[in-house]
Chain A
Amino acid sequence: MSTENRNPTDAVKSLGLVKIYTGKENVHALRNVNLSIRKGELYTLLGQNGAGKTTFLRIISTQLLPTEGEAHVLGHNVVTEADEIRKHIAVVPQDIQTYGNFTPWEYCYYFSLLRGMSKAQTKQSAENALKAVELWELKDRTCAQLSGGEKKRAIIATALSSDADVLLLDEPTSGLDAVARRKVWAVLREMIEQGKTILLTTHIMEEAEMLSDRIAILDKGNLIAEGMLEEIRGLTKEKFRVVMEGDTQQNELAGKDYRVVKFGNKQIVYVEDDNEALELVRDALKKGLKAEAARVTLEDVFVELVGGEQD
């Protein structure tokens, strides 16, 4: 391994990472993925289903071997130094379920003991983690008695109680209601304040917008974009969106070649600058339509980049 791959400021780094699942048909899950996650940042991987997010996370978390390329966590190679990496990471797998007869306290306590923490340390970290995810009051209920969101928070607390330096979270808030999701967000930002590094995968664009220090977009195994939210937003030529509601069939866009997406009686028109956006809003209001202009969202950019509306 070359020494330039061991940048002390990188928590996670991949170089030419390739993963091919062999079978009747080979599936290229990752194609030459190069990315680096700095220590102390919350880095979000976005992508459609099957884009390679989980594969990347599983390689980084030493659960899966890459086909080609290198990946390092805190300077340790994921293939040859997995044991060292495992001391410093905690994982929340996608769609994880719980043992029904375990309580949140038992999850945090026993999983921390498994990591080799002392009983005193374990008790303290379990308490801190359960309080952080607001499950302290429910710590002695079995998971069978908890709601879906509470179970998810119990698993997140298990990861937090490990006191790991790098948290690898695969869609940790999927299936949670908005209130529960925001509680988890607050906890994750708190972890970042404490100096942890978090790699997060998500389908929820708002989550990526609200939480991330940097964002990467994977599409069919390729890393197609990486940067801070503003940098990602700048990747499409249209910077504003106008949402119109009403009998949009009658709405004429003055023959201009705007990118337009229709959903029933609503349509989103993408424009390059704010003057155009305001002009469209004025025209629409004159025609009796509801209209409002705003900056493009991460979701707009994501859909455009992955070619989701080519048709």
Chain B
Amino acid sequence: MLILVGLVSSIPLFFLLIFGGPIQQGLIGAMIATIGFIGLVAAIQDLTWDRYIKIREMIVAMPVRPVSYAIGIALAPLLISTPGLVFFVAIALWQGFLPVSSLGWTVAALILCWAATSSIGLIISTYLQKASVYTLNSMSNILGLGLIFMPPVYYPEEFLGSFNWVASVFPTSNAASLIRVYSGQYSLPQEIVLARWLILLGIVFASTIVVSIKTKWRET
């Protein structure tokens, strides 16, 4: 599945290479797609699968903290997807689309995007505990693709004209825009950039709070 994510993330790049287009936009999209899709889909599908095969029952009855389990569920696929991510970042650096000076901001935006999509995934799987594994898997795929291909992730937010604020609503497009700003492909006023960071952090914070309140390690 994780290999497929990398391939799916690369599809728009192939189109850009074949038909021509701003490859730098596509590379940023591929980075966000890899990490955003991984965050959302892994959080939903891994949690659901663990519940379905009853491994979770074994884990709940072990000296394991719920927060360790949730972080593990989110972190494991991130580590596995790291080679793909590094590949896209390396190309962007090599081609000069991503200045070395912007690397720190890029990594920060990617980490927050992953944290936000993972938390959203955890919320969904927490609220839909009774849904079947098939329903949740389909839902996570559709949501993942929706978050990657609908908002301005593979394309710049200026395509949306006066509706460019939509980019700030989704953690994926918000992170993509921030990377574009720091790589010099797009400019936003300083206060808007700050607001975008705060929105991204807010989504992570709010989702984490909701998950920690709603999640019940032990059934009632």
A residues in contact (CB < 8 Å) with B:
58, 61-65, 82-83, 86-87, 89-99, 111, 114-116, 155, 158-159, 162, 168
The answer on a CB contact under 8 Å between B63 and A115 is yes
The answer on a CB contact under 8 Å between B218 and A111 is no
The answer on a CB contact under 8 Å between B61 and A86 is yes
The answer on a CB contact under 8 Å between B55 and A62 is no
A-B contact pairs, 29 of them (CB 8 A): A58-B57, A58-B219, A62-B61, A62-B218, A63-B57, A64-B218, A65-B220, A87-B63, A90-B62, A91-B57, A91-B58, A91-B61, A93-B58, A94-B54, A95-B54, A96-B54, A96-B55, A96-B58, A97-B52, A97-B53, A99-B53, A114-B59, A114-B62, A114-B64, A115-B62, A115-B63, A116-B63, A158-B58, A159-B58
The answer on a CB contact under 8 Å between B53 and A96 is yes
The total of chain B residues at the interface (CB under 8 A) is 15
Shortest Cβ distance from A92 into B: residue: B58
Name the B residues within 8 Å of A158 (CB-CB). Answer: 58
B residues in contact (CB < 8 Å) with A:
52-55, 57-64, 218-220
The answer on a CB contact under 8 Å between A63 and B218 is yes
Given contacts A64-B219, A65-B218, A65-B219, contact A90 B61 (CB under 8 A): yes
The total number of A-B Cβ pairs within 8 Å is: 64
The answer on a CB contact under 8 Å between A89 and B61 is yes
The answer on a CB contact under 8 Å between A62 and B60 is yes
Shortest Cβ distance from B57 into A: residue: A93
A64 to chain B, nearest CB (A): 5
B144 to chain A, nearest CB (A): 22
Q: Which 9 A-B pairs have the closest CB atoms?
A: A97-B53, A93-B57, A91-B61, A61-B61, A96-B54, A93-B54, A86-B63, A64-B219, A63-B60
A77 to chain B, nearest CB (A): 13
The answer on a CB contact under 8 Å between A63 and B63 is no
Shortest Cβ distance from A112 into B: residue: B62
User: Which of B54, B61, B64, B218 has the most chain A CB atoms inside 10 A of its CB?
Assistant: B61
The answer on a CB contact under 8 Å between A63 and B219 is yes
Determine the distance from Cα of A94 to Cα of B55 in the docked complex, in whole angstroms: 10
User: Which of A64, A114, A116 has the most chain B CB atoms inside 10 A of its CB?
Assistant: A114
Determine the distance from Cα of A98 to Cα of B62 in the docked complex, in whole angstroms: 17
Name the A residues within 8 Å of B55 (CB-CB). Answer: 96-97, 99
A68 to chain B, nearest CB (A): 13
Shortest Cβ distance from A82 into B: residue: B218
Name the A residues within 8 Å of B54 (CB-CB). Answer: 93-97
Name the B residues within 8 Å of A97 (CB-CB). Answer: 52-55
Additional A-B contacts beyond A58-B57, A58-B219, A155-B58 (5; CB < 8 A): A64-B218, A91-B58, A95-B54, A111-B58, A111-B62
Name the A residues within 8 Å of B52 (CB-CB). Answer: 97
B73 to chain A, nearest CB (A): 13
Name the A residues within 8 Å of B63 (CB-CB). Answer: 83, 86-87, 115-116
Determine the distance from Cα of A135 to Cα of B136 in the docked complex, in whole angstroms: 35
A92 to chain B, nearest CB (A): 8
